[in-house]
Amino acid sequence: MLVKVPNVLDAQQLAAVRALLDQGRDAWVDGRVTAGYQGAPVKFNQQIDERSEVAHRCQDIILSALERHPLFISAALPNVVYPPMFNRYGEGMAFGAHVDGSVRIHPHTGNKLRTDLSATLFLAQPDEYDGGELTVEDTYGAHAVKLAAGDMVLYPATSLHRVTPVTRGVRLACFFWIQSLIRDDQQRSMLFDMDSAIQILNQTKADDLARRKLVGCYHNLMRQWSET
């Protein structure tokens, strides 16, 4: 399931992150430093050094925004969020088809994190660059994603995906992974649908007892399926 999560960053937070990334010019390195053997030959971009001060300050802004975003929580059911990373594609840069690594070491805790979901948070407006679509493949075909700055897409980390070549301007984005409380994408999708339906029923103030029972089912499914 691909989920669009709009307005993860408001205009002020976006401006703050953009200014930090702009100031931190020295911290941009070749993107291949974090690529695995599959990704390295097809990866042509730049990344902010994840140990840099700039990265840490941007991570704080984004992680605190995510914690307060109900749609992100409902769709991802996060257990552990990998500290966000930042990339930059100038003209001619691209990232060929690949699947993200399944397990990463959390840079702060040293613990292993299973990547259930991949996230891309767009930091440049669509009119700032041409090309640079994130293309995610699922059983229904390829989906090209290019969102407004501040909006994010969540997609199963099992998906084959790529970033098409940038032909004008600069594509700036933030990317990271989530270990979800619900490992299975289909189970997580069903819980997301159920939660979305409950939110609508709450707004319409539909039958109170029936809603309580439905909320109970949601939590009991979470109890059955979640792992921490």
CA dihedral 72, 75, 76, 77 (to 10 degrees): 100
Structure-token pair, residue 58: 């941007």
- Residue nearer to Ni ion on the CB measure, 113 or 191: 113
CB of 127 to Ni ion, least distance (A): 24
CB of 224 to Ni ion, least distance (A): 31
CB of 83 to Ni ion, least distance (A): 16
Angstrom distance (rounded) from CA 165 to CA 70: 33
| H helix or E strand, kind and range, residue 219 | helix 208-225
- Residue nearer to Ni ion on the CB measure, 31 or 74: 31
Q: Burial of 140 by CB count in 10 Å (0-12 exposed, 13-18 middle, 19+ buried)?
A: exposed
- Residue nearer to Ni ion on the CB measure, 161 or 188: 161
CB of 62 to Ni ion, least distance (A): 18
Vertex 136: Cα angle to 35 and 122 (nearest 5): 75
CB of 161 to Ni ion, least distance (A): 6
Q: What is the SS3 assignment for 68?
A: coil
Phi first, then psi: give them for residue 105, nearest 5 degrees. -95, 125
Contact assessment for residue 95 and residue 73, using Cβ atoms and an 8 Å cutoff: no
- Residue nearer to Ni ion on the CB measure, 97 or 215: 97
CB of 169 to Ni ion, least distance (A): 21
Q: Which residues contact Ni ion (rule: CB under 5 A)?
A: 100
- Residue nearer to Ni ion on the CB measure, 100 or 133: 100
**Which position's Cβ is nearest Ni ion?**
100
- Residue nearer to Ni ion on the CB measure, 74 or 180: 180
Strand pairing partners for 137?
Answer: 142
Vertex 179: Cα angle to 72 and 177 (nearest 5): 70
